[in-house]
Amino acid sequence: MKQQQSTPPPLPQSQPPSLSLSQAGGAAAAEGSVVANAISSLNGTNNNNNSIDATTKTRPPLYPKPKTPSFDKDRDYIGFATLPEQVHRKSVKRGFEFTLMVVGESGLGKSTLINSLFLGDLYKNRQMPNVEERIEKTTRVEKKTMDIEERGVRLRLTVVDTPGFGDAINCEDSWRVCTQYIDEQFRQYFTDESGLNRRNIQDNRVHCCLYFVPPWGHSLRQMDLDLIRRLHRKVNIVLVIGKADCLNKTEVRKLKERILQDLEDNHIQLYQFPECDSDEDDDFKQQDRELKASIPFAVVGSNTILEVAGKKVRGRQYPWGVVNVEDAEHSDFIKLRTFLISTHMQDLKDTTQDVHYENFRAQCISQISQHALRERGKLKRDSISSTNGFDAAISETDRLLLQKDEEIRRMQDMLTQMQEKLKQTHLMEMKKNDSVIDV
């Protein structure tokens, strides 16, 4: 005998029609409605318990699902792995600053090289001095700033040029302007850093100094050594042999060897490349070795685009051929640009902050402390002299009174001493009398 399945009683007509959990899903969930009714009948409940209240418009869930985290797959994920992305977004939004100083005598291709490196024209309105002006020409400092944007990254480039360096007959003090400018920027940054408003500090410190060596010399001149010796502890120095197309490969190699030997003999230290990490790939390590072996860089600059064998290249046209600036066989231009911009720009800034500026800051703090000690000693001496001056300002009567008081004090001391002597003599006499009586 078949057992009939119990069905829920029909709803009265006076009540509003109720919606079960499955009916709320629509007519497409008819099969789910049968399952829901069977579960409700087994639990002894009615579908009316799952109805929506007309006043609150809310329905308690039949089987509430537990809350799951947003990352179902990676349950051990914390989130600090996105810190590099946060730093990247903030740095890109703020932009970057870089200050480059260019030092060298005129005619070595400094302006052309800077324009070739950054694909711009910083020297549009430049005027070359004549012979009469060069006789008494002195070294001065010129700053040029340009904003560069590449793939959403903004760079504020400041190029500090030193026109007149090495152009005068007497070049003994040519280095003085360069060292004074570097110290002034350090001092200004130290003042801003020690002030109250430290949020908008403008960094004008020199992060790198490109020093141009002429290709027609056998090695470094005395003027070159004087400048480099005074700057190598203040700024990152990178030596560049200008107009290297004047030399062949053998001459370039010998000139580099003599320059490095002169630096070693004079105990001059240029910018030191950081060591590669062990987890770097082989290509980067090979590139780093090539950059270290290329110092000093023998470069050729050009702003002219030439067409060679159907390809447009940046180079210089000669009667015997074309010098391709971007060819590693012709020039170290690509290596210099890779080092200066692509791979070591941030390290140059970090070295300026952590080494050169910290040395300057330590010297400033030492000078301030010594000055404070001198001022403290001066205040002590002034206080003593002021006391003496106060004594001199006392009236004559007061001075006489003080003298009388001093005399009275001395007389009292003398009386005290005489009384002590009298007591001692009296005691001695008493002892003598006692001895006579005993006899």
- What does the pLDDT read at residue 210? 92
pTM, entire model: 0.64
Four-residue CA torsion sign, 198, 202, 206, 210: positive
Residue 300 neighbours by CB under 8 Å, 6+ apart: 109, 243, 244, 245, 316, 323, 325, 330, 331, 333
- What does the pLDDT read at residue 391? 54
- What does the pLDDT read at residue 64? 47
Q: Which CATH number fits domain 82-370: 1.10.490.10, 3.40.50.300, 3.10.20.310, 3.40.50.150?
A: 3.40.50.300
pLDDT tens track for 33-79: 444 454 444 444 444 444 444 444 444 444 444 444 454 556 677 77
Q: Order across the sheet with 305-308: list the strands.
A: 305-308, 311-318, 321-324
Q: Are 98 and 148 in contact (CB under 8 A)?
A: no
Domain ranges for the chain: 82-370, 400-438
Q: Are 261 and 295 in contact (CB under 8 A)?
A: no
Distance CA 139, CA 161 (A): 10
Spell out, as residue ranges, where the chain has pLDDT lower than 70: 1-75, 122-138, 168-171, 384-398, 431-439
